[in-house]
Amino acid sequence: MPKQSKKQRSAHEIYDHAKTYPLGEALDILGKFPKAGFDETVELSFHLGVDPRQSSQMVRGVVELPRGSGKTVRVVAFTDKPEEAREAGADEAGMDDLIARIQEGWTEFDVAVATPAAMKEVRKVARILGPRGLMPNPKSGTVSEDLAAAIQSVKSGGRVEFKMDKTANIGVIVGKRSFSPADLEENIKAVFDAVSKARPEAMKGHRYVRSAAISGTMTPGVRLEAAVFAQL
């Protein structure tokens, strides 16, 4: 068994890892954990009661965090009007030149946006972008006629995508440890709402969320009591 660091031992002394907690208390515990040498990302994790083998039970969506994610987002735009895209905040913009760079292996960005007309060309790099979660998608708001609005939305860091993995788990960024408990709680409630709306039709009458926990990049997870997510 790996030896625990002093910080890890200290964190586990702060709370009972076998217990579940109300949201406010869980956030208080998170705030008491030893801090890393950087501003850790805070993530809300869910284990769902869906069957991940069934395509009809796939859970994915987008949430607009009212207090932002605290993350600096690098955005590229596929468009035949690159100057307009850069003025709107895109870090890189173009069409054939951008596609060529990606084909050569460049993927140093967090989000890609595109106009509907550009998608025919963007599909040339779908095999590169798709597995990395970087392919523009109308469902996530990254394919839009109003490219400037799409760029500004993702650039703000408030727009966060989520997608269930093969083990029926979802992890959603809800902010940074430097955020106040009130700001984290506001973001978490927005995530609860988005995950609830993403509930598959096939899950009616079944328990949708089995468990949920909140954690920082370098902290243990604090499990939330069922009453916090019972309405989902």
8 Å CB contact between 69 and 175: yes
| Contact status, residue 214 vs residue 43, Cβ threshold 8 Å | yes
pLDDT of residue 3: 54
The architecture that CATH gives domain 6-70+159-229 is 2-Layer Sandwich (3.30)
The domain segmentation of the chain, as residue ranges, is: 6-70+159-229, 75-155
| pLDDT over 60 (residue 1) | no
pLDDT in tens, 149-198: 999 888 877 888 899 999 999 999 999 999 999 999 999 999 999 999 99
> What's the pLDDT score for residue 79?
96
User: Both tokens of residue 65?
Assistant: 């965090």
Q: Residue 163: which residues within 8 A CB-CB, separation 6 or more?
A: 59, 60, 133, 170
User: At residue 2, does pLDDT exceed 60?
Assistant: no
**Structural class in CATH, domain 75-155:** alpha beta
pTM summary value: 0.74
Residues 43-89: tens digit of each pLDDT = 999 999 999 999 889 998 889 899 989 988 899 999 999 999 999 99
User: Which residues fall within 8 angstroms of residue 177, CB to CB, at 6 or more apart?
Assistant: 30, 31, 35, 39, 40, 41, 42, 216
- Among 47, 46, 10, which residue's Cα sits nearest to residue 29? 10
